[in-house]
Amino acid sequence: MTCRVLILRAPGTNCDRETAFAFEAAGAKTESVHLQRLLERPQLAADFQVLCISGGFSYGDDISAGRIFGNQIRHHLHDTLEEFKAAGKLILGICNGFQVLIKSGVLLPDQAAEPIATLTLNESGKFEDRWVYLRVASSKCVFLQDVDQMYLPVAHAEGKFVARDAATLDQLDSAGQLVLRYKSSGDRSATDIGTEVPYPDCPNGAQRAVAGVCDDSGRVLGLMPHPERHIDPTNHPRWTRERRERGDGLILFENAVRYFA
């Protein structure tokens, strides 16, 4: 059975075609669905194995990045996405999609009716557009199986991961949910486990250099870097000097398709 992927978009989404290409390169069949269509017919989600919210600037990032999109899910599609998760399916949020998932309560559960973590303005106070080194800090996430490290681009103004308190941060860390971390460019080894990563290697000042978070099942992942922008070796900024067989981001999409093989 071919893995079917629903790519959920909204006004301002601009990475849906690249994300569809990445999933299709991994062997999936994709369909881009406007949020309004899913709001009208939530049962559409049942026809898919993977739901992905791609990058961009949904609703112009008014109020804060991903907030409006996230609130629409929180208030109108919460049960639909909970059923989707309960059925053993996968959910992926990339950049703006990560912001949507974390602000909707889909990725991490609320506590006392408030999110336990958020993504806020970069410490630099500006939009960061650069390539970064990443390491996988936990084997918990389905999307990141058999991955040690990656080199991917980021492009965001609100990517700083912050937990509500130190105890919450420790709990997420010990549970293996802070699954993807920025790495220092001076240490390319997969064993670099330091949590203090300087700017610009950590482009936003995230706590413990967090670049991606998964839920407690490992089947829902949100990440700030863009794996869909490093699918082909020629996507790499130094591709003529560093010959590679494939882009680092491709395996993330292949893992999703392989999960349902």
Q: Are 260 and 1 in contact (CB under 8 A)?
A: yes
CA neighbor of 83 nearest in space, from 40, 30, 47: 47
Select which of 226, 230, 236, 254 is catalytic. Answer: 226
Q: Give CA–CA dist 234/82, Å, rounded.
A: 38
Q: Give CA–CA dist 17/47, Å, rounded.
A: 20
For 121, counting Cβ atoms within 10 Å of its Cβ (0-12 exposed, 13-18 middle, 19+ buried), the class is middle
Pull the structure tokens for residue 110: 């609320």
Pull the structure tokens for residue 7: 């790519």
Select which of 3, 95, 141, 202 is catalytic. Answer: 95
Select which of 128, 158, 228, 254 is catalytic. Answer: 228
Q: Are 95 and 227 in contact (CB under 8 A)?
A: no
Q: Are 117 and 103 in contact (CB under 8 A)?
A: no
Neighbours of 196 (CB within 10 A): 8
| C-alpha angle 76-79-81 in degrees, rounded to nearest 5 | 95
Pull the structure tokens for residue 203: 């482009």
- Is residue 226 among the annotated active site residues? yes
Task: List, by residue number, the catalytic residues.
Answer: 95, 226, 228
